[in-house]
Amino acid sequence: AQSVAQPEDQVNVAEGNPLTVKCTYSVSGNPYLFWYVQYPNRGLQFLLKYITGDNLVKGSYGFEAEFNKSQTSFHLKKPSALVSDSALYFCAVRDMSGSSNTGKLIFGQGTTLQVKP
Amino acid sequence: DTEVTQTPKHLVMGMTNKKSLKCEQHMGHRAMYWYKQKAKKPPELMFVYSYEKLSINESVPSRFSPECPNSSLLNLHLHALQPEDSALYLCASSPRDGTFNEKLFFGSGTQLSVL
């Protein structure tokens, strides 16, 4: 079965420091991986995706993610955190196991990022 | 227009009421979704419409009834809900049929409280 894990409920980082939000996955076949961010009282916003190709994926708002096949990880990173990056972050994997390949995303439990001034 | 618009933003209803949630997008997307999200938890897929046909129903209780009148509009009809149905209901869309490389565009949600 496809699954994705975010081992940290919360990550705290000082503004200006680099940040990492961790994600590991378990899939059969090729992984299709996504990061979404949710600000308070809002829906989810797409940050970036890995489908194939370069292991370093660049996304919105200065975020990037590194795909590591041997470690089955897809960690989200940013070189210099901003207070405005404080939000709830979800890693997701596309579920390709069913007979229909329509749009089923499996989300991790989410990681709250707190960036302090 | 790159938005998914959901109305109302907030809804309070009793267990005997009938209400509807509305979702609209004008991006020409052909797949639309309903998700349910409890506070600080990941969204849970409820329904997927692909080219205006229901393609996924995640064993959702019949007190939730989706409807897709056209490619731009998605409704969720609510009847005889339970207090545990209180949650943020998110609508999303994607360009075609939600295949492997498509990202989802989410609305801001309807915060539903069932009393």
List the pLDDT tens digit at each of the 115 positions of chain B: 669 999 999 999 999 899 999 999 999 999 999 999 999 999 999 999 999 999 989 999 999 999 999 999 999 999 999 999 999 999 999 998 767 778 899 999 999 999 9
pLDDT greater than 90 at residue A2: no
Q: Average model confidence (pLDDT) for chain A?
A: 92
Whether A3 and A106 have beta carbons less than 8 Å apart is answered as yes
The terminus-to-terminus CA distance of chain B in angstroms comes to 36
Confidence of residue A52 (pLDDT cuts 50, 70, 90): confident
Residues β-bridged to residue B33? B48, B92
Cβ distance B42 to A41 less than 8 Å, yes or no, reads: no
Per-window interface: A 45-84 vs B, CB < 8 A: 45-46, 49, 51
Q: What is the distance between the alpha carbons of residues B40 and A88, in angstroms, rounded to a whole number?
A: 8
Q: What is the pLDDT of residue A112?
A: 97
Which amino acid, residue B53? Answer: K
For residues A28-46, give the mean pLDDT. 91
| Interface contact flag, B109 A42, Cβ < 8 Å | yes
Instruction: Tell me: pLDDT of A75 over 60.
Output: yes
Quick one: CA torsion of B1, A32, B30, A61, rounded to 10 degrees? -10
